[in-house]
Structures are given as C-alpha cells and as structure tokens.
Amino acid sequence: MGVANRLDLTLRLVQGADRVSVAELARRLGVSEMTVRRDLDELERQGLVKRVHGGAEATRSREGESGFAVRERWQAATKDRLGRAVAGLVEPGATVLLDAGTTTVHVAEHLIARAPLTVAVLSLQAAVRLADRPGIRLLVIGGESRPGERSLIGPHAVRTLETMAFDTFVMSIGGVQAAYGWSEFSLDDAAVKQAALSQATRTIAVADATKLGVRAFSRVTTLDRVDTFVTDTAADDVATHPKGPETLTALRDAGVDIVLA
C-alpha cells in the first residue's frame, strides 16, 4: 500500500473513532506498529491528528483546513478516473443520489457530461460542483453538515431520503471485507447510507483499491446489497493489495458486477 493511500486510511480511522490506539490501527491496516507511529507523526505534522499516549485522536488541521480538503489531494488522478467510470454507467434522464466523499466529488464533475439528469446530493462539496450546470436538476438533501467533511447527516437527512426514490445510488465506502461486508468510518454516514440503499433501484459503490479488505467501524450492509462496484485496477494486484483479489472474488460470488478503471 502506498504511503498516500495509507495516510488516507489512517486519517479516516482516527476521525471515525475520535481516538484510536497504535495497536488497533496496525491491526486494521495490516502494517507494523512502527509504520503506524511514523504515519501518525506525519499526520500530526500536517495538523490532522493529535498524538496521545499509545495512539492518536482527531483534530482539525492547521489554518482550519479540513480533513476532506487534505484527503481530496491524495490520489486525485485515481479518484478522477473512478469518477469518470461511474458517470459512464449512468444513463441520461436518470434520477441519481450521490453520496458524500472525495471520490464522489469527481463523479459529480463527470456527471455533467451525462445530462440531462436529476441529481440529489449528500455532500455540500458535490453540490458546489453541480450547481448552475446546464441539464442538471440539483437537489440538496437536508440535514446537518458534518464538520470537516460537509457530508449531510442526521435524522432529517434520513427522513428526507425516505420520501424519495432514485434510479441509482452512487455510494462511497470506507471499507469492504468479504466476511463483514460494506462498512463506513462514521456511524452517522453509515446510517444515511443505509437509508439511501432502501430508496434506490440500483446501487453503484465506488472506492479506490486501498479500501478492499478494510473493516471500518460501522457496518453498512452485506456484500450482495450492491449491484456494481467500481475500483481501480490495482485492486487485482496481490503484491500491492494483499486482500484485493480475494475481496473481489467474494464480491463476484455475491453477485456484484466489478468494474476496474
């Protein structure tokens, strides 16, 4: 796993739990505790976590920069490639629910070329990309904006989703593991995803290869609740992602279509 990818996952695990131990991070990431300590030192240098005895806790970065803003720069080319692949699966005229996340922002940008579309968003970041674009009818799902992420969460978001129906739900995900299913780092984000899954005819999950084999804190659903999974080609490389090929096999066995971009 590359350093940028590992930093991304480490940051999200710390943010999801508010505080987490070095030992727990090493277990979830499949790396040594020495590597975890080195990565935490780097994240602390960037102002994204605070080192405490035996682990780290979440914080805001220096100069008010959010974790989302930092993560958005990591692996941007891969995320843009995934965004283009997901958008290509959406038919013009469809009603789409777009999840929050750094990768789905790239999906939003590429959906513009698939207009006309009705796009409901669970992210203020995605809303900015889609606002005032020709052929895009933009709906912003109500709810509380989660600090640092600007994802829309909470009971109001869930209730709003329950009154709507979508052709396609594009779901970002924190982790996917053969035995555990799809999971997310934040309990609040997981609850919104669970509501969204019930309102969509089709669900496309999207995540880079580092999320394969990862078990995040909150289980979202079983493998078979997703119709299509879009990830990058590195997912099939056991040398860089030891859990990648076996996770892809489990997904295919569960009836999920795999798109490697």
What's the CA gap between 208 and 43, in Å, rounded? Answer: 20
What's the CA gap between 238 and 46, in Å, rounded? Answer: 31
Identify any residues that bridge with 242 across adjacent strands, giving them in sequence order: none
Query: Rounded to the nearest 10 degrees, what angle do helices 33-45 and 22-29 cross at?
Result: 110
- Residue 255 region by backbone torsions, left for phi larger than 0, else alpha for psi between -120 and 50, else beta: left
Q: What is the pTM of this model?
A: 0.79
Angle of CA points 148, 150, 152, to nearest 5°: 135
CATH 1.10.10.10 fits 3-70, yes or no: yes
Q: Which residues of the chain have pLDDT under 70?
A: 1-2, 4-5, 16, 60-75, 240
Give the amino acid at 109. Answer: E
Quick: pLDDT tens for 100-120: 988 999 999 999 999 999 999
Domain-by-domain residue ranges, the chain?
Answer: 3-70, 75-260
Q: Residues with Cβ < 8 Å from 210, sequence gap 6 or more? A: 1, 5, 6, 8, 9, 241
Query: Rounded to the nearest 10 degrees, what angle do helices 3-17 and 33-45 cross at?
Result: 80
CATH 3.40.50.620 fits 75-260, yes or no: no
Quick: pLDDT tens for 128-182: 999 999 999 999 998 999 877 789 999 999 999 999 999 999 999 999 999 999 9
Asked, colleague to colleague, whether 3-70 and 75-260 share their fold, the answer is no
Q: Residues with Cβ < 8 Å from 197, sequence gap 6 or more? A: 169, 171, 203, 220, 221, 225
DSSP 68: H
